[in-house]
Amino acid sequence: MRGYDLGEAEVTVRTSHFVGFNMAAFRADLLRVGGFPEYLGPNPEFPVSACETICLERLLAREMWGVFIGAARVSHYVPAKNRTLGFALARARMTGKGRALAETFEDAAAAPPRVDAELGVAALSALRWAAAVIRLRPRAERFHRLYDLHRDLGRFQGAWRARRGAEACGHKRLSER
């Protein structure tokens, strides 16, 4: 088995950085925290991801801790089309969009991400990627820089959409529901 492993013992998880394909939650708890974020729902014209992370953050904010079960095993098949560089980069963009939207809709007091600031971050990521390519850095480093670039481009796209406002997007902040 490959992946994130905390050992064989059961361990309490109190961070949203630990999300995986084997996340499970009781329906009542999911409903208590507002369910999965509707603003990240299916939209083929603006695909996003991060639903599980945001839902887990909602659960953790209400002090509903997770449990890592060391003996649990999950296996699944990943089609070849989902094991490509293009898929990984598209996923990075979707995650960036989702995080930018979450920063807008999850916290009523938060200001939407600034489009100009997100564009600047994406431009800096592009420079870092270009420098890694020009300097013939190791392949793994070049990939990480390219991944960061696509994630930051996604954040820019999410910030642009969030700038239009909740009403224009057809969504409400969690506090307004």
Q: What is the pLDDT of residues 86-114, one digit of tens each?
A: 999 999 999 999 999 888 888 777 777 89
List of the chain residues with pLDDT < 70: 1-4, 17-22, 165-177
CA distance 155 to 10: 35
CA distance 122 to 162: 17
How many contiguous H segments (helices) and E segments (strands) does the chain have?
A: 6, 2
**Extents of the domains making up the chain:** 11-176
What pLDDT, on a 0 to 100 scale, did the predictor assign at position 105? 85
Residues near 173 by beta carbon (within 8 Å), at least 6 away in sequence: 104, 105, 106, 107, 108, 166
What pLDDT, on a 0 to 100 scale, did the predictor assign at position 177? 46
What pLDDT, on a 0 to 100 scale, did the predictor assign at position 176? 52
Q: Are 140 and 93 in contact (CB under 8 A)?
A: no
